Each structure stands twice: as C-alpha cells, then as structure tokens.
C-alpha cells in the first residue's frame, strides 16, 4: 500500500474544497406542476439508495404524493448513480455535492437525510433553518448535545416537519403490545432487554492513513468531525460504511442497528427521558483490526420503571460461525420480561407475548414496521408527526451514547472485578454470564484479554450531563465527544437552546 503523507492529505482536502465551490445546481422544478412534494436526498450510497427509489416514477417502492427533485452526495460516483437512476425514470434532477447549496434551492420542499451519523444533526438543523421538512435517518446524532440542538431546532421551526427514521415507531403490533403491557396483562415489567446480535467481521489491519478516493470531497464528508485522514480500508473501502466503527463518526453497533431496539425497549418500558444511571462493559474481541468501537458490549440503564439491559454481539454463535446467538426468540430484538410472561419484538417490529415457559399467548395484530415512509408522507400532508417524533429519537439515541460514554470512561479490569461489579443485579448478572458463555465458545478468554469495565455513571437528566462522585470521572464523561462536540470551522453546530431540557 502507498504510504500516505501529510502532503497527500492536504492535496486531497484542498481539491475537495475546490469541488465545494463548483456544485452544479440544475433546477427543473420536477414535481411542482402536479402538487407532489419535491424531495431532495442527502447521502444515498446504501440506505439513501432505498429512499431514492421511493421518489422515482415507475419504481416498485414509489410513494404517492412526492417526487425526486434533487440529489446530494459528496461522492461523484454516488452522484452519477443517482443521476442515471433519475434519468432512467424520466426525471432530470438538480445535483449537489454541498448540502448547503441544495438547501438554498426553492425547488426542494423536503429533504431525506441518509449521510453518516455525524452529519445527521447538523444537516437537520440547517434544513429546518432553510424552511425544509426533514426525514433524518437514525440515530439522530453523533453526540448528546448536538441531538438536543436538533430537537430545539424542530421546536423553533415547528411549522416544518421533522421526523426520525426509527421505523419501529410505525409498527402497530408494538403499539398493541404496549397497550397490553399498560393494561397489566402480564403483570409488572421486571426488566427489558434489547439485543443486537449481528455478524460484524474484522475490517482488516492497515498501516496508517489511507488515500481518499478521487471524487470524494473529504472535507464535506468530514463536516463537523475533526478533519483527520481515514485509517481503514476494509471490504467497504476507505470512506463509506466502516465509519460506524470509529468514534469520530459513529458509535459502534449500539448506535447502528442497536438504536432501533433501544428505541423499542425504551418505548415499551414507558421511560420518558434519560435513566438515573448507566454502566457498560465489553471490548473488541476475537480479532485485531483498525476499528475502535466494541464488538461486544453489555450496558445497563436503571430507570424508575425498571432496568433496561442492552447487549451487542458481533461475533457468531461459535468461533468461525456467522450464525448468531438467539435470546428468547430473536438475535436482533427486544424482550420485555414481566411477572407472568414476556413479550418479544422481532427486528421487523412483529410482537408476540409468551408465558414464562415460552408458550405463545398472543401474537399482536396490525402492521409491522413497514409503514414508516408512508407515515412520513402523511406527516407532510397533515403537517403533524405521529410516528418518529424527533425528541423520542433523541432520548433513544442518547441512551446509546451514554452506554458508549461509560465504556469510554472505563478501564481494563480483571474478570473477577467485573463479576463483583455486576453481582448485585439479577438481570445484569444474567447478561454477564451469557456474555461469558458467548465469548468462551468464540475462544476469547477474559483472563487473557481483559474486558473494559465502565463506571456506573449518574445522569442529570435535566441537563443531559453526567454526574459522578469522582470529579475526574464526571469530567472525562462530560468532555467526551460522544457527550458534546461543537463542530469544526464552517461546520459548527448552531446552539439552538439553553442546554437544559425545556419544560415540555
């Protein structure tokens, strides 16, 4: 591999900066004539590609009432794919590399945002300021503070629609399961467990900074994050997707797949905001690669209602296997354990109640989570968000962030110390023992590879900050970029509110 020098890096970013000034708006006012909402899509390599199909005439997944008017991506190759798809569907759409230029366009009514996580809050805020309606992919933010600013922006520009893509919020089955829980059919909730067991392979080990492919404006891609060269080059390449495993941009699988189950878990628990305290333990086990985030994580969040346990596993059911463990019916799901039985919610938002012996009691009726994008169109038409309220997305996203903050404030400890730390709580102890079994069959020995054990962080829910008797721990947690990062240069996150949770 070619060694990457600082000179190369500067050259790339300067070239990227030049591209910024040659955004090519070509406006055709695609849908204005027939009353369609005109959609601009920001970031459409993978998830955004599915969104793009929703607005192309003739596509199987076309949504009524809206049409593609503009596309924006910082990667020329992705832009070209979007242009071709639009042209094939008979549309000529405006093209941008810089979302700020797209937001100036009067030919765009609403935007769908599917860039990496670290761009979600800043572009949401900018879009609302520009008078656009917003569908932002999950998670809402890269850090707690910027997520709060996005919520405050939605409040300030309340004439605009702001909706988050946690699609389980559109599952009628979950809503019916919640009604059953609240009616006390299974007795009191004892605890809720969210699982995110997804195969996550090594992304390989590389030597230092990697060359950004020509055609990607890396300064724009980096946005509010610190501008540092990429240090990965796995099967997905140097820039796209694997940012999930680097703290500057993502938050590991808890903030990737996990945010969906975290949102369902918090919703079913009935918890309104942040928990009283949070503790995490885990590690990146089983291989050495470039990535930073844990592939194994157990987090415990204590709410007044009951504890919420969240488990991430990236290793398979056994060493060398890609099939994943199943916990009470699902690998990726939520289990609400009550006195007289439990409810399982599958990845697609299907919900079933069982007794404590595992006998099926009730399969809840209604749609699964497939209706979310239709509900977005309904929100645009009715001017009211009913599924995917931004502040709910903020709280669930913040739980993922708090779990990561405890992990990041942690230290390697002997397994025996971890066993002591979890001994007092039945649900946590159970998750710990199951994690040990899982690691054992993956040939990870915690006596040799020590786990990271995070502190039990007390949470000031009103200020969305961490408190801890030891000042050094509280400071480390609050100064973590996952708690607060203000942005960079032209990509500063605007402060929208006072910083405390508004009385609402």
- In the complex, what is the shortest distance from the CB of residue 474 to ligand NAD, in angstroms, rounded to a whole number? 29
Minimum CB–partner distance for residue 242 and ligand NAD (Å): 8
238 touches 263 (CB < 8 A): no
The least distance separating ligand NAD from the CB of residue 132, rounded to whole angstroms, comes to 14
CB of 157 to ligand NAD, least distance (A): 20
Q: Are 241 and 46 in contact (CB under 8 A)?
A: yes
Query: Residues 67, 91: contact at Cβ < 8 Å?
Result: yes
Minimum CB distance to ligand NAD, residue 122 (Å) = 8
Distances (CA, A) of 244 to 96, 117, 203, 250: 24, 8, 11, 4
- Residue by residue, DSSP assigns 417-452 as HHHHHHTT-HHHHHHHHHHHHHHHHTT--TTTSPPE
Phi, psi at 307, each rounded to 5°? -75, 145
- Residue 240 CB, nearest distance to ligand NAD (Å)? 4
Quote the CA–CA distance of 381 and 362 in Å, as a whole number: 35
The answer to whether the CB of 492 falls within 8 A of the CB of 486 is yes
Which residue, 122 or 192, has its beta carbon nearer to ligand NAD? 122
How far apart CA 432 and CA 262 sit, in angstroms, is 18
* Pairing of the two strands 491-492 and 487-488: antiparallel
Of 133 and 137, nearer to ligand NAD (C-beta) is 137
- The dihedral through the CA atoms of 20, 223, 293, 135 has a sign that is negative
Provide, rounded to whole angstroms, the least separation between the CB of residue 236 and ligand NAD.
7
Task: Identify which of residues 240 and 484 has a Cβ nearer to ligand NAD in the complex.
Answer: 240
Of 72 and 279, CB closest to ligand NAD: 72
Structure tokens, 321: 């296997």
Structure tokens at 56: 């192309």
Smallest gap from Cβ 419 to ligand NAD, in A, equals 34
Query: Using an 8 Å Cβ cutoff, are 37 and 380 in contact?
Result: yes
CB-nearer residue toward ligand NAD: 48 or 252: 48
CA distance 117 to 47: 12
Name the residue with tokens 């918090």: 266
Determine the Cα–Cα distance for residues 133 and 120; give it in Å rounded to an integer: 14
- Report the alpha-carbon distance of residue 50 to residue 248 in Å, rounded: 26
> Closest CB to ligand NAD among 260 and 413?
260
Specify the residue, 48 or 454, whose C-beta has the smaller distance to ligand NAD: 48
Furthest-apart CA atoms within the chain: distance in Å: 69
Task: Pick the closer one to ligand NAD by CB: 220 or 353.
Answer: 220
Q: Which is nearer to ligand NAD, 117 or 404 (CB)?
A: 117
Nearer to ligand NAD, 261 or 478 (CB): 261
Q: Nearest distance from residue 280's CB to ligand NAD, in Å?
A: 20
Torsion over CA: 436, 437, 443, 445 (sign): positive
Interface residues toward ligand NAD, by CB under 6 A? 42-43, 45-48, 72-75, 78, 99, 114-117, 119, 137-138, 165, 167, 220-221, 223, 240-241, 256
Which residue is at the shortest CB distance from ligand NAD? 43
- Nearer to ligand NAD (CB atom), residue 240 or residue 434: 240
Tell the smallest beta-carbon distance from residue 358 to ligand NAD (Å).
29
Query: Quick one: which of 112, 124, 204, 120 has its CA closest to 157?
Result: 124
**Residue indicated by tokens 């891609």:** 221
Q: Cβ 398 to ligand NAD, closest distance in Å?
A: 16
Tokens describing residue 327: 């916990």
Exposure of 494 by Cβ count < 10 A (0-12 exposed, 13-18 middle, 19+ buried)? Answer: middle
DSSP 234: B
Taking the least distance from each CB to ligand NAD, the nearer of 115 and 451 is 115
Q: How far is the CB of 221 from ligand NAD (least distance, A)?
A: 5
């Amino acid at each position: 591999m070619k060694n990457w020098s600082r000179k190369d890096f500067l050259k790339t970013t300067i070239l990227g900066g030049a591209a910024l000034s040659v955004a090519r708006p070509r406006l055709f006012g695609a849908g204005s004539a027939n009353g369609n909402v005109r959609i601009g899509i920001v970031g459409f390599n993978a998830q955004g590609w599915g969104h793009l199909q929703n607005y192309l005439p003739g596509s199987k997944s076309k949504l009524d009432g809206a049409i593609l008017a503009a596309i924006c991506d910082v990667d020329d190759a992705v832009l070209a794919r979007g242009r071709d798809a639009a042209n094939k569907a008979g549309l000529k759409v405006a093209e941008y590399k810089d979302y700020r230029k797209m937001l100036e366009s009067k030919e765009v009514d609403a935007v769908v945002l599917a860039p990496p996580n670290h761009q979600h809050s800043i572009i949401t805020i900018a879009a609302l300021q520009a008078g656009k309606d917003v569908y932002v992919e999950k998670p809402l933010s890269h850090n707690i503070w910027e997520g709060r600013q996005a919520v405050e922006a939605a409040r300030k520009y309340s004439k605009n629609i702001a909706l988050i893509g946690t699609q389980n919020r559109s599952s009628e089955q979950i809503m019916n399961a919640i009604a059953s829980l609240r009616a006390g059919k299974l007795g009191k909730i004892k605890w809720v467990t969210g699982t995110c067991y997804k195969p996550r392979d090594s992304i390989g080990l590389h030597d230092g900074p990697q060359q950004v492919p020509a055609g990607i404006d890396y300064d724009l891609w980096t946005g509010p994050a610190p501008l540092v060269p990429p240090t990965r080059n796995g099967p997905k390449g140097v820039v796209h997707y694997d940012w999930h495993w680097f703290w500057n941009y993502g938050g590991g699988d808890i903030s990737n797949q996990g945010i969906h189950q975290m949102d369902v878990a918090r919703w079913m628990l009935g918890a309104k905001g942040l928990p009283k305290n949070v503790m995490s333990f885990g590690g990146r086990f089983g291989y050495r690669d470039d990535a930073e985030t844990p592939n194994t994580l157990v987090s415990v969040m204590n709410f007044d209602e009951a504890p919420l346990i969240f488990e991430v596993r990236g290793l398979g059911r056994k060493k060398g296997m890609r099939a994943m463990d199943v916990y009470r019916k699902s690998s990726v799901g939520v289990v609400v354990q009550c006195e007289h039985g439990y409810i399982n919610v599958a990845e697609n938002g299907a919900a079933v109640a069982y007794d404590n012996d595992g006998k099926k009691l009730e399969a809840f009726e209604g749609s699964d989570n497939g209706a979310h994008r239709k509900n977005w169109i309904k929100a645009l038409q009715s001017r009211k968000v009913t599924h995917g309220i931004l502040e709910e997305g903020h709280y669930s996203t913040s739980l993922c962030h708090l779990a990561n903050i405890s992990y990041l404030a942690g230290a390697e400890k002997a397994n025996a110390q971890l066993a002591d730390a979890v001994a007092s709580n039945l649900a946590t102890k159970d998750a710990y023992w199951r994690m040990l079994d899982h690691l054992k069959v993956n040939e990870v020995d915690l006596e040799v590879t020590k786990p990271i054990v995070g502190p039990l962080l007390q949470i000031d829910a009103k200020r969305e900050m961490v408190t801890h008797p030891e000042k050094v721990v509280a400071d480390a947690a609050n100064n973590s970029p996952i708690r607060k990062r203000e942005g960079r240069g032209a990509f500063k996150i605007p402060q929208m509110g006072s910083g405390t949770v508004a009385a609402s």
